Amino acid sequence: MSVPAKTVLPGGTIGVLGGGQLGRMLAQAATRLGYRVHIFEPQANSPAGAVAHLEVNAAYEDLVALSAFARGCDVVTYEFENVPAAPLRAIEGLTQLHPSWQVLETCQNRSREKNWLKQNGFPHARFAEVAAGGDVAAGIREVGLPCVVKTADFGYDGKGQVKVREEVDIAVAQKAFAGQACVIEQWIDFACEVSVVMARSAKAAIRVFPLVENIHTNHILDFSIAPARVAPETATAAEKMARLIAEKIGLVGVMGVEMFVTREGAVLVNELAPRTHNSGHYTIDACATSQFEQQVRAICGLPLGDPRLLSPVVMVNLLGDAWASGEPRWDGLLAEPAVRLHLYGKSEPRPGRKMGHFTVTARDADMALGFAQKIKARL
């Protein structure tokens, strides 16, 4: 039985499962409000652990260590979806857990997530499921070409997926996903990709951050533009859909909803992320309340903050590729008054690894994007 929701005031202890950059920025927001933060992370010396009061290193499946960690926290949350849901179910009677393990279990598996969207009437791409060892080719033909084959579990930043454009690609997909459970999704010829980050409290209050337009390169988020350059009615429809998802799934915490906008202007839900979202990092520098402070407020039972956008802004991911010739020259970037730099404290830059981000504010989104692109090119 889960622990009833109760208010955790500043001075209390927040536990975070996962030690990556989302946990780091959450810890920074929480400590600014006066909370203690404990990190539970299998690997030592994590980015989040470096700014927390305590870092516990153990496997998520280590129920002895996880239970002791939970008892030492007033509320526990998680910073990414690859935390197994079963251990969280085992500790739900020891402390408050937000979002619930049921929300995590739904969102960390593409089959469960797609079926949840379908059962609850949210528009999405046509899809088919293939069990481990099943006939991938049959699933592809059921959905039709072009399509995308994705692993059912633990995929992010384009990992575990293959686009199938023509008949000759089917054999490649069959080999790549042999023995794995997968989801096959219709390819959407979208006008743009957008996302909404919102928060919901235990008292069912909801606050929605402005719709963001996202540009990906090699399946990894490159630029996030706020406000999104879409028609007002499209933004309204996307934000309304995000609210309904938060209500239907019983969210307590923060969630990112990734969506496609079709060339006809329709909005389709792509994926759900039951935590702070990469596309929401702009909120630190350009909103009245950041997504990380909002997460603290939501899981601790405090009033939700104002998500209002204070300035048009673009967020740019900094990947390990920028370190190919050594440490980038941050002095040039920091000389720009409209730029804010956020580095995640990761010691080993690797191609495709998210090492940090920067934001650029300007009087309109197009100006901010143009400036951001020039700065990134210099780096």
Helices 168-176 and 136-143: angle between axes, nearest 10 degrees: 130
Whether residue 1 lies inside any domain: the answer is no
Within 10 Å of residue 294's Cβ, how many Cβ atoms? 28
Whether residue 301 lies inside any domain: the answer is yes
User: Could you tell me if 82 and 208 lie in one domain?
Assistant: no
User: Could you tell me if 332 and 239 lie in one domain?
Assistant: yes
User: Could you tell me if 216 and 181 lie in one domain?
Assistant: no
User: Could you tell me if 328 and 209 lie in one domain?
Assistant: yes
User: Could you tell me if 215 and 337 lie in one domain?
Assistant: yes
Whether residue 60 lies inside any domain: the answer is yes
In 108-126, which positions are buried (b, 16+ CB within 10 angstroms) versus exposed (e)?
bbbbbbbebbeeeebebbe
Query: What's the CATH code of the domain at 288?
Result: 3.30.470.20
Helix, strand, coil share (%) of the chain residues, nearest 5: 30, 30, 40
How confident is the model at residue 267, as a pLDDT? 98
Whether residue 111 lies inside any domain: the answer is no
pTM value > 0.85: yes
How confident is the model at residue 1, as a pLDDT? 73
User: Could you tell me if 333 and 214 lie in one domain?
Assistant: yes
- Residue 379 CA to residue 312 CA, distance in Å, equals 22
User: Could you tell me if 143 and 19 lie in one domain?
Assistant: no
Range of the domain at 222: 190-378
List strand residue ranges (DSSP E) for the chain, in order. Answer: 13-17, 36-40, 54-56, 75-78, 96-97, 127-130, 147-151, 161-164, 182-186, 190-200, 206-208, 212-217, 220-226, 253-262, 267-273, 313-319, 339-343, 354-361
Helices 291-300 and 21-32: angle between axes, nearest 10 degrees: 70
How confident is the model at residue 4, as a pLDDT? 85
Give me the tens of pLDDT residue by residue for the chain, a chain 379 residues long.
Answer: 788 889 999 999 999 999 999 999 999 999 999 999 999 999 999 999 999 999 999 999 999 999 999 999 999 999 999 899 999 999 999 999 999 999 999 999 999 999 999 999 999 999 999 999 999 999 999 999 999 999 998 666 556 889 999 999 999 999 999 999 999 999 999 999 999 999 999 999 999 999 999 999 988 999 999 999 999 999 999 999 999 999 999 999 999 999 999 999 999 999 999 999 999 999 999 999 999 999 999 999 999 999 999 999 999 999 999 999 999 999 999 999 999 999 999 989 999 999 999 999 999 999 999 999 999 999 8
User: Could you tell me if 180 and 196 lie in one domain?
Assistant: no
Give the residues across from 27 on adjacent strands. none
Whether residue 67 lies inside any domain: the answer is yes
Split into its structural domains, the chain has a count of 3
User: Could you tell me if 216 and 177 lie in one domain?
Assistant: no
How confident is the model at residue 212, as a pLDDT? 98
User: Could you tell me if 218 and 302 lie in one domain?
Assistant: yes
User: Could you tell me if 172 and 200 lie in one domain?
Assistant: no
User: Could you tell me if 355 and 230 lie in one domain?
Assistant: yes
Whether residue 200 lies inside any domain: the answer is yes
Whether residue 4 lies inside any domain: the answer is no
